[in-house]
């Protein structure tokens, strides 16, 4: 009886594996088609100054709606795009589209609006990444000073020396650099002062449920202290409640982003 159960379990396990493998295969071929036809969209989430609520920028977030699968989260398809090498073309499209939209907003009277774009590991590590960014700025006419590239700690720390060198080239273009999801990676703090970065993005996990008594309070306080002493801006991600906002303001956090201020939306429904 025991052996039989194990056999059955294994069969279930195997068919489950096949199903997953098939789903992954299907997703990757759909993704390839989507990349060929540029069937992605960018949504933009507002970033605001916490002292007075002024909108200082937006973060561009990629969206993919597949006619059969429906909306597929970037958390799911970006890793797949990295595995399959599609990230380069998707990432370049995202960069170009965000800059084109930035130019439109500029022409509508928002010259100071900053546009933040997420950059994935493999995209950043491509030899010609800096060139791609430079070309994109040149082709769209979007000012480098209004473009912000978001890199995660993980990306930066993978090959620190290379990364620092590449980030410096990006800074030389005039582009801003932020560290996304700060505090969740494993960046050695001793490297932080050496990184040519401008902004720390405090991860949502520290902001969620933040109050004077929550265990994340001292963490947020420490990150803000670090930002201040390194002369970096700080932006809190994932602000959903007025309580979180109140505490962040009290702690002197410059900027914020989250559902409290607005979700990511298509450019056509973005208002300032």
Contact flag: residue 267 with ligand C2E (CB under 6 A): no
Binding mask 154-173 for ligand C2E (x = CB under 6 A): --------------------
- Binding region for ligand C2E (CB under 6 A) out of 72-80, 130-138, 171-179, 247-255: 72-80
Site for ligand C2E in 196-235 (CB under 6 A): 204
* Token pair in block for residue 58: 């937006």
Establish if 233 lies at the interface with Mg ion (CB under 5 A).
no
Minimum gap (Å) between residue 237 Cβ and Mg ion:
5
Binding of residue 150 to Mg ion (CB under 5 A): yes
Longest dimension (CA), the chain: 75
101 contacts ligand C2E (rule: CB under 6 A): no
Q: Strand, coil or helix: what is 47?
A: strand
Which residues are within 8 A (CB) of 102 and not within 5 positions of it... i.e. 6 or more apart? 113, 115, 140, 142, 146, 147
Pairing of strands 70-72, 55-66: antiparallel
Distances (CA, A) of 162 to 3, 6, 129, 170: 54, 50, 12, 12
Output 32 or 185, the one with its CB closest to Mg ion. Answer: 185
Cα-Cα-Cα-Cα torsion 146, 147, 151, 156, nearest 10 degrees, comes to -90
Q: How many residues bind ligand C2E (CB under 6 A)?
A: 24
Measured from the CB atom, the residue of 117 and 192 that comes closer to ligand C2E is 117
Contact 224, 200 (CB under 8 A): no
Q: Minimum distance between the CB of residue 181 and ligand C2E, rounded to whole angstroms?
A: 5
Report the interface residues with ligand C2E, using CB under 6 A: 45, 61-62, 73-75, 78, 91, 94, 118-120, 150, 180-181, 204, 237-240, 257-259, 264
């Amino acid at each position: 009886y025991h052996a039989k159960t194990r056999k059955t379990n294994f069969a279930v396990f195997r068919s489950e594996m096949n199903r997953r493998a098939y789903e992954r295969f299907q997703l990757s071929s759909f993704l390839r088609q989507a990349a060929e036809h540029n069937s992605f969209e960018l949504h933009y989430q507002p970033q605001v100054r916490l002292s007075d609520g002024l909108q200082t920028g937006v973060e561009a977030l990629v969206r993919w709606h597949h006619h059969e699968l429906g909306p597929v989260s970037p958390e799911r398809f970006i890793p797949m795009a990295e595995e399959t090498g599609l990230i380069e073309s998707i990432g370049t499209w995202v960069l170009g589209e965000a800059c084109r939209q930035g130019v439109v907003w500029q022409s509508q009277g928002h010259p100071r609006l900053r546009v933040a774009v997420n950059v994935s590991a493999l995209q950043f590590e491509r030899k010609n990444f800096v060139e791609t960014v430079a070309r994109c700025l040149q082709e769209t006419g979007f000012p480098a000073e209004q473009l912000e590239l978001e890199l995660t700690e993980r990306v930066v720390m993978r090959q620190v020396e290379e990364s620092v060198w590449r980030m410096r080239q990006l800074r030389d273009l005039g582009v801003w650099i932020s560290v996304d999801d700060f505090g969740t990676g494993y960046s050695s703090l001793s490297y932080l002062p050496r990184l040519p970065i401008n902004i720390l993005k405090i991860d949502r996990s520290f902001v969620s449920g933040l109050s004077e008594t929550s265990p994340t309070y001292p963490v947020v306080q420490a990150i803000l202290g670090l930002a201040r002493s390194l002369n970096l801006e700080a932006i809190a991600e994932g602000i959903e409640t007025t309580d979180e906002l109140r505490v962040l303001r009290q702690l002197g956090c410059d900027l914020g982003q989250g559902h409290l201020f607005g979700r990511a939306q298509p450019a056509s429904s973005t208002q300032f």
